[in-house]
């Protein structure tokens, strides 16, 4: 059978039932980029969209179940603002959907009522709070890819990029892994689809695009937070930079960041640093946060600083180490002139 006739022949009865329901209720479903939408806002909605915590994730759906069953079911416990069913090319659903309610109470009712609910004999579905993931990992990039180049590519091809960070890949030797943060779950989902379609010319081999897994995120943070030692620095796969390895005075680094923020009209960076731990061999672990008024979110994390006994404040050294990281994220890393 030609592809079109083959896809039309799949679960014909369920599709006819859906069409009859749409005609009877007057509900319009719109399909965009592999998602079929109801509402967002629904007819007659007045005011702002619902607050955070009103969306639920629905999983383990039978693939031939559609909105004519799902929307009335989920609407029975609260007013729906939006319902999104993920679709395959063939016209089956992909086994999961998202329901956003007008109130947090509606979302709580849906979880309490429908988690482990049998939509069919032997088909228990999963309903839980939507995690609203916003971070992607892109593994297998060529080591020659620069942060500035990658950020420019993503700004052109996707919407809502907040930050791009590059790391040595923990899975493939001689490759890089990028962590991409987006302004919303929807922006991240659209970017994931764009990147997985492979139309972007990203340099690398066997590039793998996924939601950023919690264990990978923790591993990357651990590498950032680990105090450098001769043993660690010999392992090039970890690619841990020496803090403040640049032959630049602390004040020069901070001045460079301040100048860049002025040039980009972002406002002056505000630094908070707190010493958390003192290592016996002279390393200090600092927590930091940098707020830049014109940047969407603050930078925060941990960094190690070497205490060299030359009288310079360890807090100032921590600020300079962090300023180097912020400059990299803003696409203007300082280059060692030597």
Spell out the domain ranges in the chain.
15-129, 135-223, 250-330
pLDDT at 239: 34
- Kindly compute the dihedral angle of the four CA atoms of residues 188, 68, 42, 186, in this order, to the nearest 10 degrees: 0
pLDDT at 200: 75
CB count in 10 Å sphere of residue 103: 15
Q: Among 16-30, 57-71, 303-317, which stretch is predicted with the lowest mean pLDDT?
A: 303-317
Residue 122 pLDDT more than 80?
Answer: yes
Q: pLDDT digits over 286-296, tens only?
A: 888 888 888 87
The CATH topology of domain 135-223 is: Alpha-Beta Plaits (3.30.70)
Distance, CA of 314 to CA of 275 (rounded, Å): 9
pLDDT at 3: 46
Spatial CB neighbours of 272, under 8 Å, sequence gap ≥ 6: 288, 289, 290, 291
Residue 46 pLDDT more than 50?
Answer: yes
In percent, how much of the chain has pLDDT > 90? 26
Domain 250-330 indexed as CATH 3.40.50.300: no
Distance, CA of 338 to CA of 336 (rounded, Å): 5
Identical fold at 15-129 and 250-330? no
Range 202-216 burial, b when 16+ CB lie within 10 A, else e: bebeebebebbeeeb
pLDDT at 68: 95
Q: Is the dihedral of CA 9, 13, 14, 16 positive or negative?
A: positive
Q: Which of 133, 39, 35, 131 is nearest to 85 (CA)?
A: 35
Structure tokens at 84: 């999104």
Spatial CB neighbours of 95, under 8 Å, sequence gap ≥ 6: 59, 60, 61, 63, 86
Q: pLDDT digits over 62-80, tens only?
A: 999 999 999 999 999 999 9
Q: pLDDT digits over 223-269, tens only?
A: 554 444 433 333 333 333 344 444 455 667 888 888 888 888 888 89
Q: How confident is the model at residue 117 (pLDDT cuts 50, 70, 90)?
A: very high
The CATH topology of domain 15-129 is: Alpha-Beta Plaits (3.30.70)
pLDDT at 94: 86
DSSP 120-169: ETTEE-EEEE-----EEEEEEEETT--HHHHHHHHHHHSS-EEEEEEEE-
Distance, CA of 168 to CA of 166 (rounded, Å): 7
Length of the chain equals: 338
């Amino acid at each position: 059978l030609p592809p079109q006739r083959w896809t039309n022949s799949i679960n014909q009865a369920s599709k006819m039932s859906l069409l009859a329901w749409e005609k009877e209720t007057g509900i319009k479903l719109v399909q965009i980029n592999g998602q079929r939408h109801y509402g967002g806002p629904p007819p007659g909605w007045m005011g702002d969209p619902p607050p955070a915590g009103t969306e639920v994730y629905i999983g383990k759906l039978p693939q031939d179940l559609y909105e004519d069953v799902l929307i009335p079911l989920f609407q029975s416990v609260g007013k729906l603002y939006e319902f999104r069913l993920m679709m395959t090319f063939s016209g089956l659903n992909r086994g999961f959907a998202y329901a956003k309610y007008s109130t947090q109470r509606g979302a709580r009712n849906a979880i309490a009522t429908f988690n482990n609910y049998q939509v069919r004999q032997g088909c228990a579905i999963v309903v839980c709070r939507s995690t609203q993931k916003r971070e992607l990992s892109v593994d297998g990039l060529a080591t020659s890819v620069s942060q500035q180049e990658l950020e420019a590519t993503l700004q052109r091809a996707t919407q809502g990029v907040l930050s791009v960070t590059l790391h040595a890949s923990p899975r493939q030797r001689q490759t890089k892994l990028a962590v991409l943060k987006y302004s919303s779950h929807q922006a991240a989902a659209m970017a994931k689809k764009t990147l997985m379609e492979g139309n972007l010319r990203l340099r690398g081999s066997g590039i793998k695009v996924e939601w950023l897994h919690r264990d990978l995120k923790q591993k990357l943070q651990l590498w950032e937070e680990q105090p450098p030692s001769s043993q660690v620095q010999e392992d090039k796969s970890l690619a841990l930079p020496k803090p403040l390895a640049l032959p630049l005075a602390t004040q020069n680094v901070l001045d460079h960041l301040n100048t860049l923020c002025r040039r980009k009209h972002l406002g002056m960076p505000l630094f908070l640093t707190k010493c958390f731990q003192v290592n016996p061999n002279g390393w200090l672990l600092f927590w930091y946060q940098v707020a830049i008024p014109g940047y969407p979110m603050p930078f925060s994390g941990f960094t190690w600083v070497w205490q060299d006994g030359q009288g310079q404040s360890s807090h100032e050294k921590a600020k300079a180490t962090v300023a180097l990281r912020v400059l990299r994220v803003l696409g203007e890393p300082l280059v060692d002139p030597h």
